[in-house]
C-alpha cells in the first residue's frame, strides 16, 4: 500500500470500534455536563467536517498520499488548521464516547487521536515533497488546534 492505505484502515477500524463501544458499553458515569459537552463536540465536529469536505473537494482521499492531480488547499477551514477532517473525527469520537458515557470508547477515541496525528505527519511528509510551498504553510497554520498545535 504505497499510498498509506494501512493508515486509512487503522483509522476506520478504530472509528468503528468507538462507534460500536459507545452504546454497547455505556452509562459508566452520570453527568448532564458530559452530555451537553458531548452534544457540543458532535455539532462542532459535524460543522468542521462539512467545511473540510466542501473546501477539499476533489482532493479528498482517505489515504495520506495526495492524489496525482491534487492542489494544495490553504483557504477556508484549511487556513485555520491543516487537518480539519482528522480534527472532526477526533472531536466527534470524543463527543460520541462522552454522549454514551463510555470509558472504553473514550480510550479508543484517544488512541484514534494518536493514530490520526501520526497519519497527519506521514501525509505532511508527502505534501511537502509534492508542494514546495507546504513548508511555509505548515509554519503558519497549526495541525489540529489553531495557534496552538
The arithmetic mean of pLDDT across residues 40-50, rounded, is 98
Can you list the domains of the chain with their CATH numbers?
A: 32-140 (1.20.120.1630)
- Give whichever of 2-6, 21-25, 28-32 has the largest mean pLDDT: 21-25
Coarse DSSP helix, strand, coil percentages of the chain, rounded to the nearest 5 percent: 70, 0, 30
**Which parts of 25-79 fold into alpha helices (H)?**
32-56
Q: Report CA Rg, the chain.
A: 16
Q: Using 50, 70 and 90 to split pLDDT, how confident is the model at 1?
A: low
**Rounded to two decimals, what is the model's pTM?**
0.93
Task: Tell me what the pLDDT averaged over the chain comes to.
Answer: 95
Amino acid at each position: 500500500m504505497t499510498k498509506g492505505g494501512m493508515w486509512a484502515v487503522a483509522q476506520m477500524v478504530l472509528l468503528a470500534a468507538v462507534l460500536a463501544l459507545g452504546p454497547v458499553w455505556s452509562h459508566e458515569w452520570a453527568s448532564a455536563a458530559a452530555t451537553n459537552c458531548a452534544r457540543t463536540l458532535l455539532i462542532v465536529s459535524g460543522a468542521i467536517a462539512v467545511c473540510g469536505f466542501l473546501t477539499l473537494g476533489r482532493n479528498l482521499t482517505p489515504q495520506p498520499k495526495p492524489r496525482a492531480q491534487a492542489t494544495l488547499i490553504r483557504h477556508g477551514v484549511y487556513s485555520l488548521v491543516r487537518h480539519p477532517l482528522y480534527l472532526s473525527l477526533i472531536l466527534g469520537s470524543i463527543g460520541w464516547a462522552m454522549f454514551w458515557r463510555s470509558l472504553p470508547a473514550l480510550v479508543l477515541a484517544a488512541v484514534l487521536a494518536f493514530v490520526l496525528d501520526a497519519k497527519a505527519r506521514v501525509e505532511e511528509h508527502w505534501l511537502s515533497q509534492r508542494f514546495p510551498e507546504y513548508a511555509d504553510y505548515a509554519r503558519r497554520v497549526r495541525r489540529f488546534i489553531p495557534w496552538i498545535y
